[in-house]
Structure 1
Amino acid sequence: MRWLAALMLALGLTSAAGMAQTSVDSGLGAVLRGLDKVNGETVDVEIPWGGTLNVFGLSVTVQDCRYPPENPTGDAFALLTITDRVSGYQAFHGWMVASSPALNALDHNRYDVWVLRCITS
């Protein structure tokens, strides 16, 4: 249920059942983990807000990263755009939630990227 609340906060929504919005803070960027599924290599990267970084064969842009002040690591969610550097295909655009990476995941045949936390200082 935490992931649903985090996603709703990211989208600025409240539920019909009256779930109140809680406060969230914006981070300075996001810490992401990339995985090359072919050779099993992983890498952790910090990308500042508005920045783009190459992660293996992908170009990853962080447009926003938000987190609830009471749980800045577990409930972080980031707005990402991920493009395949070879084909130019936009493989992902949307919010990823750190506590539920499979909720809205990158669908790429070789690489995987997920959010670990926001950069808070």
Structure 2
Amino acid sequence: MPLRFLSRLFAALAFFGLALAVAPASAQPMAHPVATLAGLDKITGRITRFDVYIDETVLFGALEITPRACYDRPATDTLQRTSAFLEVDQRSLDGTAKRIFTGWMFADSPALNAVDHPVYDVWLIECKTSTNVPPPDQR
């Protein structure tokens, strides 16, 4: 009886050890100072790719886009690997702005949280540590 109990105990421990070894380890996301975005003008069909520093506001057509955070995870991670928190405002002809999007965008799933606009689409490409665009304080 004790031998049978020990063999079951070892089998259970081996199973749980294997389950822990197979379970994905979620690495901490790494924050980056630059978000690379792409924008589509649906009227002209032109796609523009641009780098934006965190907390910098850029104008794409009538949209003001401000990334607040941009994170990457290792390629071995099974979660959404590249994500950014964005605020998007639409400028009107009288100079007022209306917030049309606030939330997370994911490079792996651009349609998951998309900017809903009749003329423009905006999506996240990647997060970067550097860019050839000078920072806002050096312009």
The yes-or-no answer on 1:31 pairing with 2:36 is yes
Tell whether the 8 Å contact from 2:69 to 2:86 is kept in structure 1 after alignment.
Answer: yes
SS of aligned partner of 1:112:
strand
- Letter of the structure 1 residue corresponding to residue 90 of structure 2: D
Q: TM-score, normalised by structure 2?
A: 0.67
Equivalent of residue 113 in structure 1, options 122, 125, 131: 122
Q: Which runs of 4+ in 1 moved over 6 A?
A: none
Q: Percent identity?
A: 35
Amino acid at match of 2:110: P
User: Which residue among 56, 63, 67 is the counterpart of 1:58?
Assistant: 63
1:38: how far off?
A: 1.0
Structure with greater proportional helix content:
2
Please tell me the residue identity of whatever aligns with 2:104: W
Picking from 86, 90, 94, the partner of 2:99 is: 90
The AA in structure 1 aligned to 2:69 is D
Classify the secondary structure of the residue corresponding to 1:70.
coil
Q: Which structure is higher in RCO with an 8 Å CA cutoff and minimum separation 6?
A: 1
Q: Provide the aligned C-alpha RMSD in A.
A: 2.0
**Contact preservation (8 Å) 2:84, 2:104:** yes
TM normalised by structure 1 equals 0.76
Of Structure 1 and Structure 2, which has the larger fraction of its residues in strand? Answer: 1
Aligned residue-pair number:
102
**Letter paired with 1:63:** R
1:68 Cα offset (Å)? 0.5
Q: Which residue of 2 aligns with 1:104?
A: 113
Q: Deviations over 1:19-48 (max 9, x none)?
A: 864311001120000111111111111000
1:80 alignment partner in structure 2? 86
Runs of 5+ unmatched residues, structure 2: 1-22, 131-139
Structure number with larger C-alpha Rg: 2
CA contact (8 A) 2:74 2:81 kept: no
Question: Structure 1 residues 23, 36: closer, same or farther in 2, change over 3 A?
Answer: same
Tell me which of 71, 74, 79 is aligned to 1:69: 74
